[in-house]
Amino acid sequence: MRSILNFEERNIVHLHLLSQKAFSPRLTFFFLLVWIVSLSPLPAVAENVPNATQPDAFVFDLKAGEVISLASLVNKIDSQDIVLLGELHDNPAHHLARAHIIELVACVHCVIVSEHLPANHQVNFSSSLLGSLESAGFDAKGWAWPLHEPLFKAIQSKNIPLMGGNIPSVLSSDLFKRGEAAIPASLLQQYQKSALSISAQKKLDQDLKEGHCGHLSDPYLPPMRLIQRIKDASFAELLLDHSPSIL
């Protein structure tokens, strides 16, 4: 594997003037590079981004500590095996930015794995975008449709294979009730080999608390932590199996 490119929403929140305080970290395992799409003013590159609700934006390379061009970002994406595109679920500008990136990347032979769909369900696009998504298990009400419509329109227009990566709600409930005994055999190895250090576990717990606006009490942290890690394991398995891939 060459490298992994990660757009992580928590860094956008902490560094770049977004009003949302809550975020939901999606992947917690072995990512080496962190990049972000930021939403602070920088008119010099404003022409490169959607201007309907996001008139000014720039791309900031956290590793190098500098602003890079959108063209440079796209070139980097096209050279990766796995790319992670983070979001704040209720921020329409994030979905527009990701849609624009997807429209620009070459994405030759790549697959997009979506947390908005249950694992291993593939979308067969038809004239009805929403109907196509719902046939693959998309919950329009749960994901506040049409909030994500620009993102899925871009995927459809590029004719990129789109498959689900999330665990079903029934498994989340079972994990909450029975703990590790409920881990599916197909995800057990990935879970075991990605054990968290004490510091990483504390960090994930803090992320989970912040992701629930500080209202997640300590007794609920172990089951919620387990659910998040099994989701991450599901994403990881599919991204690795279908590389080059985008989450």
Q: Tell me: pLDDT of 247 over 90.
A: yes
pLDDT computed for residue 85 by the predictor:
92
The arithmetic mean of pLDDT across residues 80-96, rounded, is: 91
How far the first Cα of the chain sits from its last, in Å, is 16
On whether residue 44 sits in a domain, the answer given is: yes
Task: Flag whether 177 is in a domain.
Answer: no
What phi and psi, each to the nearest 5 degrees, are found at residue 52? -70, -50
Measure the CA–CA gap between 139 and 215, rounded to whole angstroms.
25
Distance of CA 14 to the CA centre of its chain: 17
In-domain check, residue 180: no
Q: What is the torsional sign of CA 114, 120, 126, 132?
A: negative
Q: Determine if the peptide bond prior to 55 is cis (ω within 30°).
A: no
Flag whether 208 is in a domain.
no
Full residue range of the structural domain in which residue 42 is found: 4-168+230-246
pLDDT at residue number 35: 34
pLDDT digits (tens, 9 = 90+) for 167-206: 999 999 999 999 999 999 999 999 999 999 999 999 999 9
Residue 213 maps to a domain: no
Query: How far, in Å, CA of 240 to CA of 156, rounded?
Result: 22
Q: What is the pLDDT of residue 215?
A: 86
Residue 181, domain member (yes or no): no
| Residue 174 covered by a domain | no
Q: Which of 134-148, 153-167, 211-225 has the lowest mean pLDDT?
A: 211-225
Three-state secondary-structure class, residue 246: strand
Residue 32 in this model has a pLDDT that exceeds 70: no
Residue 26 has pLDDT above 80, yes or no: no
Interstrand relation of 82-85 and 66-68 (parallel, antiparallel or unpaired):
unpaired
Instruction: Assign 56 a pLDDT band (cuts: 50, 70, 90).
Output: low
What pLDDT, on the 0 to 100 scale, is given for residue 128?
A: 97
Write the pLDDT tens digit of every residue in 229-241. 999 999 999 999 9
What does the pLDDT read at residue 211?
85
175 half-sphere exposure, CB direction, 13 A CA radius: 22
pLDDT of residue 59: 87
Q: Could you report the per-residue pLDDT of 148-165, keeping only the tens digit for each?
A: 999 999 999 999 999 999
pLDDT-derived band at 21 (thresholds 50, 70, 90) equals very low
Into how many domains does the chain fold? 1
- Average pLDDT across the chain, whole number: 81
Does the residue 215 lie in any domain? Answer: no
Tell which wins on pLDDT, 47 or 126: 126
Stretch 71-85: mean pLDDT, rounded? Answer: 93
